[in-house]
């Protein structure tokens, strides 16, 4: 009871702060609402010790550097609208307080029992209320984008590359900032940036290729393909569909175990050895909670069915047919030409390499590298049905489960389309890296943004365009 009272007090302070700043939104007095307000209060402090204390008590899988990065990039958030609310789930539309003043959708899930710890939280760029959305021509949008990037780069808030196309024609391309600050190497369009969770798109395409070939069924349980999977409930209850949609309850990979074994996790099977005995966190299929481990398992399925390593499979069946010559997941210990150094924000404002946070290599859940050019090639190949036929491409990208607000999660893709407008794609972020790919299936635009800075450096750019591109 003492713990709950403390959360209520913190929540009250956050509500008062929000009202002073003009948000005028009452967050409900539920476990999810109280945890959201406690998180917002810790975020607003911008203080490492305060955020660390909050993480230890309420979000043990969290990372203080990532939370500080969100604060430094956005300036905090003012809640503008409560979109969804239950005891264990809350979604709010909020506006950044920083110079960009973009809109984000914050989705939080909490455990069903005391102490109601945070099970997952996502911060995504979002459309503003209709009355605040800017109306601009295509030429005006591109001019505004160029001005924004130049300003953000000059203020050291963006370093990376941007590519915008429409129906295959390049409308804008540019690279900004430094790929290596110590060696003074500038970013360029061919710079390879770490892409975080964007690998999930490649993994989902790979699984769907095997579905299309009749070698995998989406309704089959995981254990049909991984015959020696350690946990019986995961093996018999979690389906391939649930792995690809984050509805299997398979949990995350980050936390104390990952930190302790970070450089020992060299293969996908190493992750299974570490996490494979865990039971589902909830009844598979009953809810949506983002699961990096679920996508690790999807990659293991690719390995078992194809008889190839995950890395060899995606290189042969995704990267090669799409013409993606600069994309991969080579170990961090190996020299990769033009791979940038990622930088996370230090307390006090400086930047430091993210080397000590990186996994041994990227996985089917994320962590590889690519270029903006290769991401656009992937988008073009996908929509031209070079990777999957038309039926399975549509099945891949069409939203299947609500993932908060007005977005749905498909198979390794987010589907933000509504009334013929909006995009499909996926973002990725971790300390010192951020990326986003948005494919506008109606208008023909493709937006690829990669940055070697903390989130949401890249997604602020794609979000800026989302609000302004003609529908």
453: CATH: 3.40.710.10
Which residues lie closer than 8 Å to 58 by C-beta, 6 or more apart? 35, 38, 39, 115, 117, 118
pLDDT of residue 132: 64
Judgement on whether residues 67 and 216 belong to the same structural domain of the protein:
no
Residue that terminates a domain, selected from 130, 163, 184: 130
Judgement on whether residues 355 and 399 belong to the same structural domain of the protein:
yes
Residues of the chain with pLDDT under 50: 1-23
Distance set, CA 37 to CA 5, 171, 267, 288 (Å)? 13, 41, 39, 22
Judgement on whether residues 298 and 229 belong to the same structural domain of the protein:
yes
Residue that terminates a domain, selected from 115, 130, 145: 130
pLDDT of residue 99: 60
Structural domain of 141: 136-471
The count of other CB atoms within 10 Å of the CB of residue 8 is: 14
Judgement on whether residues 100 and 154 belong to the same structural domain of the protein:
no
CATH number at residue 52: 3.10.450
Cα angle for residues 428, 432, 438 (degrees, 5° grid): 25
pLDDT of residue 463: 87
Judgement on whether residues 187 and 264 belong to the same structural domain of the protein:
yes
Judgement on whether residues 289 and 335 belong to the same structural domain of the protein:
yes
Distance set, CA 430 to CA 15, 218, 243, 273, 315 (Å)? 29, 30, 21, 24, 24
Judgement on whether residues 331 and 423 belong to the same structural domain of the protein:
yes
Judgement on whether residues 181 and 219 belong to the same structural domain of the protein:
yes
Judgement on whether residues 118 and 150 belong to the same structural domain of the protein:
no
pLDDT of residue 17: 37
Judgement on whether residues 168 and 291 belong to the same structural domain of the protein:
yes
DSSP code, position 319: I
Judgement on whether residues 212 and 352 belong to the same structural domain of the protein:
yes
Residue that terminates a domain, selected from 80, 105, 130: 130
Q: Hey, is 444 helix, strand or coil?
A: coil
pLDDT digits (tens, 9 = 90+) for 425-445: 999 999 999 999 999 999 999
Instruction: Answer yes or no: are the C-beta atoms of 226 and 304 closer than 8 Å.
Output: yes
pLDDT digits (tens, 9 = 90+) for 274-289: 999 999 999 999 999 9
Instruction: Answer yes or no: are the C-beta atoms of 317 and 329 closer than 8 Å.
Output: no
Structural domain count, the chain: 2
Judgement on whether residues 7 and 118 belong to the same structural domain of the protein:
yes
pLDDT of residue 405: 61
């Amino acid at each position: 009871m003492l713990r709950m009272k403390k959360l209520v007090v913190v929540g009250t302070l956050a509500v008062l702060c929000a009202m002073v700043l003009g948000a005028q939104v009452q967050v409900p007095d539920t476990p999810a609402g109280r945890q959201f307000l406690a998180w917002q209060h810790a975020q607003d402090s911008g203080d490492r010790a305060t955020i660390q204390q909050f993480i230890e008590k309420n979000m043990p899988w969290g990372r203080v550097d990532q939370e500080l990065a969100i604060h430094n990039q956005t300036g905090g958030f003012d809640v503008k609208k409560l979109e969804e609310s239950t005891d264990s789930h809350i979604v709010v539309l909020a506006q950044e307080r920083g110079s960009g003043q973009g809109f984000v959708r914050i989705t939080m899930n909490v455990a069903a029992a005391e102490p109601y710890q945070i099970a997952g939280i996502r911060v995504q760029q979002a459309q503003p209320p209709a009355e605040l959305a800017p109306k601009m021509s295509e030429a005006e949008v591109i001019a505004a984008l160029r001005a924004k990037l130049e300003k953000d780069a000059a203020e050291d808030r963006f370093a990376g590359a941007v590519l915008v196309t429409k129906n295959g024609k390049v409308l804008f391309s540019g690279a900004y900032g430094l790929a290596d600050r110590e060696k003074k190497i500038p970013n360029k369009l061919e710079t390879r940036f770490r892409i975080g969770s964007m690998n999930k798109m490649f993994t989902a395409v790979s699984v769907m290729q095997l579905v299309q070939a009749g070698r995998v069924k989406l309704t089959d349980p995981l254990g049909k393909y991984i015959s020696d999977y350690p946990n019986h409930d995961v093996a018999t209850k979690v389906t391939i569909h649930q792995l690809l949609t984050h509805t299997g309850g398979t949990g995350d990979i980050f936390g104390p175990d990952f930190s302790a074994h970070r450089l020992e996790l060299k293969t996908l099977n190493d992750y299974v050895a570490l996490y494979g005995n865990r039971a589902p966190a909830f009844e598979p299929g009953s809810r949506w909670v983002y699961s990096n481990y679920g996508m690790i398992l999807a990659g293991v399925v690719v390995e078992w069915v194809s008889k190839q390593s995950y890395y060899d499979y995606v290189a042969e069946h995704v990267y090669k047919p799409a013409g993606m010559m600069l994309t991969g997941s080579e170990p961090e210990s190996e020299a990769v030409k033009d791979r940038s150094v990622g930088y996370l924000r230090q307390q006090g404002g400086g930047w430091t390499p993210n080397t000590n946070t990186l996994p041994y290599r990227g996985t089917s859940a994320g962590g590889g590298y690519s270029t903006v050019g290769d991401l656009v090639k992937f988008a073009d190949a996908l929509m031209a049905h070079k990777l999957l036929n038309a039926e399975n491409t549509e099945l891949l990208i069409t939203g299947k489960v609500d993932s908060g607000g007005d977005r749905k999660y498909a198979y390794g893709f987010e589907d933000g389309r509504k009334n013929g407008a909006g995009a499909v794609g996926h973002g990725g972020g971790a300390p010192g890296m951020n990326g986003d790919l948005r494919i506008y299936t109606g208008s023909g635009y493709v937006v690829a943004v990669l940055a070697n800075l903390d989130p949401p450096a890249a997604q602020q750019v794609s979000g800026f365009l989302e609000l302004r591109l003609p529908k």
